[in-house]
Chains A and B, each alone.
Chain A
Amino acid sequence: MTQPPTLAVDARGLTIAWGRTPVVHDVSFDVRAGEVVALLGESGSGKTTILRALAGLHRIAAGTLSIGAQTVDAPGSRTWAPPEKRSVGVVFQDYALFPHLSVAKNIAYGAADRSEVDTLLGRVGLDGYGPRKVTELSGGEQQRVAVARVLAQRPRVVLLDEPFSNLNRSLRQQLRDDTVGVIRATGAAAVLVTHDPEEALACADRVAILRDGRLLQLDTPEHVYRQPSCVAAAHATGDAFVVPVDADGRSALGPLQTTGDGGFAVIRPEQIMLSTEGNGVVASVTRSAFVGPVVQVTIEIGDQTVRALHTGSFAAGSVVHARVDGTCHRVEAPC
């Protein structure tokens, strides 16, 4: 018999309040050792509050929170570990580098082993930056220093609070891949807080979708995208259209292949196939918008307006045939 993998984070029934206002309601999730979990949600969804609770910067009002084998916050049993007694590291949104310390001293601040500083600088691609002032670095370089500073503490869990949102688009993807790669290489688990669905889907092993302080769904990127638990979860991961569908799969967009239960089907734009002739329901084009790799075509089918992705554009007013490709997931109407 093999041991079940240990949990890096185990959160049971977290309720967190700001003052007397609860902002996170009864949220449970876990993060396995070495796993990257993204907390995805709009601002106000409670994702950053959860991260602050994990870090020990905010106490939970109810529930149990464990990091590894250590119970760090459990109001019920009056257990609480301050941030410095938890095996967590945080990459803050504004990096929070210490302005009066050099790059090397920033990294050494919480380091388990100070002789590793140079190695870590090399690992984040900042060889020779040790003596520099952090205030002289670019945003991307500061972000790398923040990552190195966290890795130096050898935490069991790395918490990332929108660490890429202050960076240029061109820089973001590269840095994102590098950062997640470096963290994975250390074997630490990571919790990534983000409002960007693409970032969450691309980086994480599992994605937790939060809305209004509640956990809507926690699953692999593919599952949360293709099999959303509800309408709101579907919208959280990207463009989606929800159409009524009957028990036999008939809908306004023609017959659908469906999985799951519920009277509505979630259709993604890339599933809608357009053609000038042939099969499919008749639709009229209201607008074609060239967005680079593809053309976003807005069509009307009955009183439904949906956007499809297509390789070419259609003149506004022209008539096309639309059909839905692949499988659609069924959901209940409200969430």
Chain B
Amino acid sequence: MANRRDTSWVGTLLAALLALLCVVPLVLLVVRGAVDGLGPFRTVLAAESTGAALTKSLLLGTLSGVVAVAVALPAAWFSQVTDMPGARVFRVLLVLPLAVPSYVSGFVVMAAFAHNGWLHGLLRPFGFEDAPDVYSLWGVVLALTWAYPLALLQIQAALSRTDPAMWGAARTLGAGPWRAFADVVLPALRAPMATGGLLVGLYAIGDFGAVSLLRFESLSYLVYLRHKSLFARAEVVPLSLLLAVVALVLVVIVLVVGGRTARGARTLDVHRAWPTIELGRWRWVAFAFCATLVLVFVGLPLGVVGYWLTRGLRLGAELRMPWDDAAHSAILGGVSALILVVAAIGPALAHRFGRVGGARALRTLTFVGYALPGIVVALSMVSFVVRWVEPLYQTFGLLVIAYVIRFTPLALGTLEDGLQRVGTGLMDAARTLGASRARATLTVILPSAAPAIGAAALGVFIAVVKELPAALILGPLEYDTLSTRIWTLTEDAFYALAAVPIFMMLGVALIGLIAGRRLSR
């Protein structure tokens, strides 16, 4: 601990600037909205499409959250504490769907389950003429179920914080395994389940990739359509603000529930290993459940992409390696990662080793930034820039600025998490060994924080490479990235051509995810 009476003013200033950066999109929208006056707001509020889109967004968020938790709870329990065959491997495999961006899972749903898709092709010889309509709520919910690891990670973390002695106590007090699970495990998991479900809901409500490909007119797709239309552009700002408000309400609920977890749960500081719970015959049921998840959410994307690739090649399609797109993605990712790590390391160190004034308020601001949907960030910049700084529109610089704003919470969060593993005692030790604060930071703290810095840089890089709406809306003309290329080709139903960039994307995202987990250990 540093001296508690010292507030680091430099650290506080840096942290405040960075936290304020996170809410810039909201400010831009409010400024533009104020200038435009009440007219567009009245139009939006009066339009039938607004209510319909809001309903669809809320329905989508709720269903996605519930489905994700229903999938994640058994998966977390089986892989974390039971003798299910391969439990250890599943702990990694079950998280991998997180690497699949929603426009790719949207692609998979279309290419695998739509009319004339892969499954339809398999079943047609048996007389199935009509495939179910995937351009629907259930199609989008399915595509967004790829986000279930967000809930899984919450539940896994809560399980490892829960005192396993409670399980033993319940069993020795005469409860069978089902009753013990229901009586002592489930209550401890209630808050993380809620948080996990809310995070998935937030992801679903802010999603652009899947809803746009599956033409599901939720708020985030409607606002994009308005942006594209010639006559209704004025509605973009009010609709963006509405979407932002919905997301913020969810964030407030997440913060309240999260706070309750921290206070209410009987959690451990020291990690105590759970005993391996024997499932008996059920272990193969558990195995089948988890294997199915991995097959559907990791195997299926790879399989479907491979299917369309070989089918395209057989029909004589020309294979074009999207090196330019990949280079654009890599440059954007690299530049954003570099800027963000440099900008965030100071505040992150100040939070960990010093005392930052108003730290809790700053954290809340950052979380608000995390919650803002990508499409809202992108459109807020457009609405501001086209009105006041026109030359910046569709430039590389503006896109990087958007990424820095959008992923500041990610960079800061990853760094702070990583720094938690650097003992504050190290700073004290270096100081008493004769090092000044600056030398201690350079020679001890930064080297010890190298994994955290690496994880943050990698996390931002992968996030930028996967990001779609900003690249689509703000990117320079003729400056396609892997993500915009995949989206455009899929939207135009060139599945075979989309296959190669998707392979690249999945390769980068999977390697990034696994490497990131390794760095954070």
Contact = CB atoms under 8 A, between A and B. Distances in A.
Are A and B co-members of a single complex? Answer: yes
B450 A100 contact: yes
Contacts of A83: 428, 431-432
A18 B432 contact: no
A110 B439 CA distance: 11
Given A19-B5, A55-B428, A59-B3, A98 B435 contact: no
B4 interface: yes
A82 B430 CA distance: 12
Contacts of B448: 98-100
B432 A88 contact: yes
Contacts of B436: 82, 84
B425 A92 contact: yes
A109 B442 CA distance: 13
A100 B5 CA distance: 30
B259 interface: no
A84 B426 contact: no
A96 B431 contact: no
Contact of B423 (A88, A94, A110, A149): A94
A45 to B, nearest CB: 18
Interface in B428-475: 428-437, 443-444, 447-448, 450
Given A19-B5, A57-B3, A153 B426 contact: no
A110 B444 CA distance: 12
A98 B446 CA distance: 11
B434 A110 contact: yes
A18 B436 CA distance: 23
Contacts of A214: none
Nearest to B5: A59
Interface in B1-41: 1-5
B432 A109 contact: no
Given A58-B3, A98-B426, A100-B447, A89 B433 contact: yes
Contacts of A58: 3-4
A86 B404 CA distance: 43
A150 B433 CA distance: 7
A92 B429 contact: yes
A90 interface: yes
A56 interface: yes
Given A96-B423, A96-B426, A82 B431 contact: yes
Residue of B4, B5, B434, B435 ringed by the most chain A CB atoms within 10 A? B434
Contact of B433 (A18, A59, A100, A109): A109
Interface string A56-71: 1111000000000000
Contact of B434 (A18, A99, A153): A153
Dominant secondary structure at the B interface? helix
B4 A19 contact: yes
Interface in A26-74: 55-59
Nearest to B440: A84
B431 A56 contact: yes
Contacts of A86: 432
A98 B3 CA distance: 21
Given A110-B435, A149-B433, A57 B426 contact: no
A153 B433 CA distance: 7
A98 B429 contact: yes
Nearest to B436: A84
Dominant secondary structure at the A interface? loop
Contacts of B429: 90, 92, 96-98
A94 B424 CA distance: 11
B428 A92 contact: yes
B430 to A, nearest CB: 7
B452 to A, nearest CB: 12
Nearest to A110: B433
A57 B431 CA distance: 8
A58 B448 CA distance: 24
Interface string A140-172: 000000000110010000010000000000000
Nearest to B6: A59
A57 B428 contact: yes
A149 to B, nearest CB: 7
Contacts of B3: 57-59
A49 B313 CA distance: 73
A159 B4 CA distance: 21
Given A94-B423, A96-B426, A100-B447, A56 B5 contact: no
B159 to A, nearest CB: 26
B519 to A, nearest CB: 14
B434 A90 contact: no
A88 B3 CA distance: 17
A296 to B, nearest CB: 31
Contacts of A18: 4
A80 B435 CA distance: 16
Contacts of A153: 433-434
A84 B436 CA distance: 6
B329 to A, nearest CB: 32
Interface string A98-109: 111100000001
Contacts of B435: 84, 109-110
A98 B428 CA distance: 11
Contact of B432 (A19, A89, A100): A89
A149 B4 CA distance: 26
A90 B1 CA distance: 14
Given A19-B5, A92-B425, A55 B432 contact: yes
Contacts of A149: 433
Nearest to A149: B433
Contacts of A19: 4-5
Contacts of A59: 3, 5
A109 B450 CA distance: 19
A56 to B, nearest CB: 7
Interface string B169-212: 00000000000000000000000000000000000000000000
A257 B448 CA distance: 61
Contact of A84 (B5, B434, B444, B447): B434
Contacts of B430: 98, 109-110
A96 B428 contact: yes
B431 to A, nearest CB: 4
A48 to B, nearest CB: 11
B47 to A, nearest CB: 54
A174 B1 CA distance: 31
Contacts of B437: 82
A99 B448 CA distance: 7
A266 B479 CA distance: 87
Nearest to A55: B432
B423 A90 contact: no
Contacts of B444: 98, 100, 109
A144 to B, nearest CB: 15
Nearest to B451: A100
Contacts of B423: 94, 96
A135 to B, nearest CB: 11
Residue of B430, B431, B447 ringed by the most chain A CB atoms within 10 A? B431
Contacts of A96: 423, 425-426, 428-429
Contacts of B5: 19, 59
Contacts of B431: 56-57, 82-84
Nearest to B445: A98
A96 B443 CA distance: 14
A200 B437 CA distance: 33
8 contacts: A56-B431, A57-B2, A57-B3, A89-B433, A94-B425, A98-B426, A149-B433, A150-B433
Given A57-B432, A58-B3, 11 more contacts: A57-B1, A57-B2, A59-B5, A89-B433, A97-B429, A98-B429, A98-B430, A100-B447, A109-B430, A110-B435, A153-B433
Can you list the 8 inter-chain pairs with the closest CB atoms, starting with the nearest? A110-B433, A96-B425, A96-B429, A83-B431, A110-B434, A100-B447, A90-B432, A84-B434
